[in-house]
Amino acid sequence: MSPEPCTHTLLQIAGADTLLGPGPPGWVIESVRRVPWVVVRRVQDLAGRIAVGVRGEHRAQRYAAWVEPGAVLDTVTPQGLACSRRWRSSVRRCLIPAIDALEEVEIIMTRHGFAEAWGPTGSVGFELASGYASATAASDLDLALWSDRPPEVIEARPLASALASLAVRTDLLVETPQGAVALAELARGGQLMLRTGSGPRLIAG
């Protein structure tokens, strides 16, 4: 696999002992033992290592670490989840509105010219990749969209409006070569927060 998978990619790792960083708290060890999947963070490369994050049972439980590429057993990208329509085989689709909404999201993205360029992230993406029930009935739907450039305001507004019509709250990040910006900020216009590997910075919209 590539030593530099994109932000949001889900990685299956060999175990908690492959995590590099400050001594992990007990919940991290238990979490990785139960579900050996981590997510790639938006951090600049560190000597060929991959920056990852571990999810816990609670929102406040997030642990930052690194792994060597050789510790990765499998990779799943958000785009891969969308292209394979993984939500259709989810046994919890009828219980989790954010998973069920992906059928409508696919239609919206295709209609706006973004077919195969988007995918679910956050708890929904984690659940679809790992098979672990991490989303809840109240979960928002986090999405990412990959583009060579941020959409113009005139393009962003219709897409944001379409996603806002869904039965669940959505939060979409537009991932570009320079960094990521929130679709809601693009649709609003004006100054933007660009998320980069070296940290966030403000840019003109």
Question: Which residues participate in catalysis according to the annotation?
Answer: 140, 142
The four Cα atoms 41, 65, 86, 75 give a dihedral, to 10 degrees, of 100
The four Cα atoms 129, 135, 137, 142 give a dihedral, to 10 degrees, of -80
Distance (Å, whole) CA 41 – CA 196:
11
